[in-house]
Amino acid sequence: MARANLLERLHTIQDTYGYIPENEINKLSDQFDLPRSKVYGTIKFYSMFYTEPTGKYMVRVCDSLSCHLNDSEGLVTAVKNYLGIADGETTEDKKFTLEVVECLGHCGEGPVMMVNDQIYTYLNENRAIQILKDCM
């Protein structure tokens, strides 16, 4: 049962630091008696875990099929242009990280975007940009 709760521990660490720092991986590896490579490999599987700091606002725009049919591509382009960054990048001022993600589970309300824990539905380009402006 060595690995029980590893996932939840990783969440807690990320909730604290915003990412999972190296020394925390070392500690987990000790506590769970696992090679640190295994903890690292587990972290790196998940798209919502980060081993490097991200922007203050994590912006996730869904581009899976249902949203795609509701022009999420246009939304993605607008957000990219507004923030001046590509998928996976962080703005220079460390405020925003943008990720084009798979389904967020609000397929009936697309296109959708998540900013940190908040989900925004039925978006159009202007509203999305307003939401980002409000974060500033």
Partner 1 sequence: MLNFLKKDPILAIEDYDFTAFKQVLNTPAENIISDIKTADLKGRGGAGFPAGVKWELARKEKSAEKYVVCNADEGEPGTFKDRYLLENSPWQVLEGILISAYVIGAEKGYIYIRGEYVKPIKIFNKIIEKAEKKGLLGENILGSEFDFELELIRGAGAYICGDETSLLNSIEGQRPRSRIKPPYPIQSGLYGKPTLVNNVETLAAAVEIINQGVETYTALGTAESNGTKLISLSGEVNEPGVYEIEFGSLTIREIVEQLGKGIRNNGQLKFVVPGGVSTSILPQEKLDIPYSYEDIKAAGSNTGSGAMIVVSEENDLIDLMLNVAEFFMSETCGTCFPCREGIRQVCYLLENAKERGYLTQRDFELITDLSQTTYLAARCGLGQSSLNFVTSVLEHYRDELLQGGGQ
Partner 2 sequence: MATALIDGQQVDFESGETILEAAEKVQIKIPTLCHAEDLSIYGGCRICVVEIEGERLLKPACATKISEGMKIKTHSPKVREVRRNIFELIVASHDISCRLNCLTCSRNQSCELREIAADIGANQTRFDPIDKGYDDDRSSVSIVREPNKCITCGRCIRKCEEVQGVGIFTMANRGPATVLTTFGDKGMGNVECTNCGQCIHACPTGALHEVYHYDRVWDMLKDEDKFVVVQTAPAVRVALAELFESKPGTIVTGQMVAGLKRLGFDRVFDTNFAADLTIMEEGTELIGRIEDGGPFPMFTSCSPGWIKYIEHFYPEYLENLSSCKSPQQMFGAVAKSYYAQQHGIDKEDMVVVSVMPCTAKKFESGRGEMDQDVDFVLTTRELGRMVKEAGIDLVNLAEEDYDPMMGESTGAGSIFGSSGGVMEAALRTAYELITEEELEELDFEPVRGAEGIKEAEVEIKGMTVKTAVASGLSNVGQLLEKIKNGEEYHFVEMMACPGGCIGGGGQPIPTNQETVEERMKAIYEIDAGKKKRKSHQNKEVQQLYEDYLGAPNSHLAHELLHTNYIKREI
Task: Please select the residue that binds partner 1; options are 49, 80, 82, 95, rule is CB under 8 A.
Answer: 49
Partner whose footprint covers residue 106, from partner 1, partner 2, none (CB < 5 to 8 Å by kind): partner 1
Whole-angstrom Cα distance, residue 22 to residue 27? 9
Task: Please select the residue that binds partner 1; options are 17, 26, 37, 48, rule is CB under 8 A.
Answer: 48
Task: Give the long-range contacts of residues 26-33, CB within 8 A, separation 24 or more.
Answer: 32/2, 32/3, 32/6, 33/2
Partner whose footprint covers residue 8, from partner 1, partner 2, none (CB < 5 to 8 Å by kind): partner 1
Q: Is 135 labeled as ligand-binding? A: no
Size of the site for partner 1 (CB under 8 A): 41
Q: Site map for partner 1, 73-102, x if CB under 8 A?
A: ----------------------------xx
Length of the chain: 136
Q: Cβ 85 to partner 1, closest distance in Å?
A: 19
User: Residue 57 in 3-state DSSP?
Assistant: strand
By the rule CB under 8 A, 135 interacts with partner 1: no
Angle formed by the axes of helices 72-83 and 125-135, nearest 10° = 40
41/84 with CB nearer partner 1: 41
Contact 57, 94 (CB under 8 A): no
